[in-house]
Amino acid sequence: MNIGLILELAKRDITEKYSGSTLGALWNFIYPLVDIFIFTVIFANLMGSRLPGSSSVYAYGFYLTSGVVAWNAFSNTVSRTATVYLDKKHIITKVKVDLSSFPLYIAISESITFVVTMGVFLFLLLISGYGIKPVILFVPLIYLVQQFFAYSLGFFIGIFVVFIRDLREIVRIVLQFWFWFTPIVYVYDILPEYVKEIMVYNPAFTFIHAYHSVFIYEQSPDLEAILYLFLLSFAILLCAGFTFKKLEKDVRDFI
């Protein structure tokens, strides 16, 4: 693993996306800020959306924001890691890199965006009077497990995307369905009982529900569920590492 190269790739990933524009890398952070503004101000004040059981005007906006910000980091990490070998083949074919650790720069880049966006979200919580409770200290743990799962899943899928190009489109479609199957826009309590029973097998529900517990309900997250997610991520990463070792030569030939 070349740490220097991975950090340099992460830096370029942030700066090159909007290179040539006047604001440059700042656009990476402006878009999430616009989303937060829409969720907290437009939804709360203009659309009158309310969170059941809460008297706060901004509760639903904060519920939506805490879920969407986490989902965006997860979704972007999975989809971009799954296609990184094809998207960056111009680098891989010219520079000798360790392909097993190469996608790490995506997780780092998405994490920087998440930290900045979450910082703005926390600022809004403070100035709105909603407040921040000590349970917020669980957020780094939730995020690390979430991104460990996203990276493991993206890396595993990415090995097969090299051979089956249609998989990159299938991943995007699955993520769309996954988003709506996870209580991010709606609340868990409105779901039918049989859906609630299925929901416990949804890994995204584990970390999204954990963020909602911390930010909205001011409760500690379900640490047992987070531990299961960590173990699942570790198992996927082991499978991905074993598969990659078997197919590494073919992966390099097919890129």
Query: Tens of pLDDT along 123-153?
Result: 888 888 777 889 999 999 999 999 999 999 9
Q: Are 164 and 90 in contact (CB under 8 A)?
A: no
pLDDT band at 48 (very low <50, low <70, confident <90, very high): low
Tell me the average pLDDT across 65-88. Answer: 94
Q: Rounded to whole angstroms, how far apart are CA atoms 11 and 24? A: 13
Percent of the chain with pLDDT over 90: 53
Query: What's the domain count of the chain?
Result: 1
Least confident piece of the model among 30-39, 48-57, 130-139, 246-255: 48-57
Higher pLDDT: 240 or 54? It is: 240
**Mean pLDDT (the chain, rounded):** 88
Q: Are 105 and 9 in contact (CB under 8 A)?
A: yes
Compute φ and ψ for 7, nearest 5 degrees. -65, -40
Query: Tens of pLDDT along 79-129?
Result: 999 999 999 888 888 877 888 889 999 999 999 989 988 988 898 888 887
Tell me the average pLDDT across 224-228. Answer: 97
pLDDT band at 1 (very low <50, low <70, confident <90, very high): low
Q: What is the pLDDT of residue 25?
A: 67
Task: Using DSSP, state whether 240 is helix, strand or coil.
Answer: helix
Q: Which of 8, 196, 199 is nearest to 95 (CA)?
A: 8
Least confident piece of the model among 38-47, 69-78, 146-155, 180-189: 38-47
**Range(s) of the domain holding residue 97:** 3-254
Tell me the average pLDDT across 51-74. Answer: 86
Q: Which of 153, 136, 149 is nearest to 213 (CA)?
A: 136
Tell me the average pLDDT across 204-231. Answer: 95
Q: Rounded to whole angstroms, how far apart are CA atoms 201 and 25? A: 37
Quote the longest CA-to-CA distance of the chain.
Answer: 59
Q: Are 156 and 238 in contact (CB under 8 A)?
A: no
| Angle at 92 (CA atoms; ends 89, 97), nearest 5 degrees | 155
Q: What is the pLDDT of residue 108?
A: 93
Does residue 45 carry a pLDDT above 70?
no
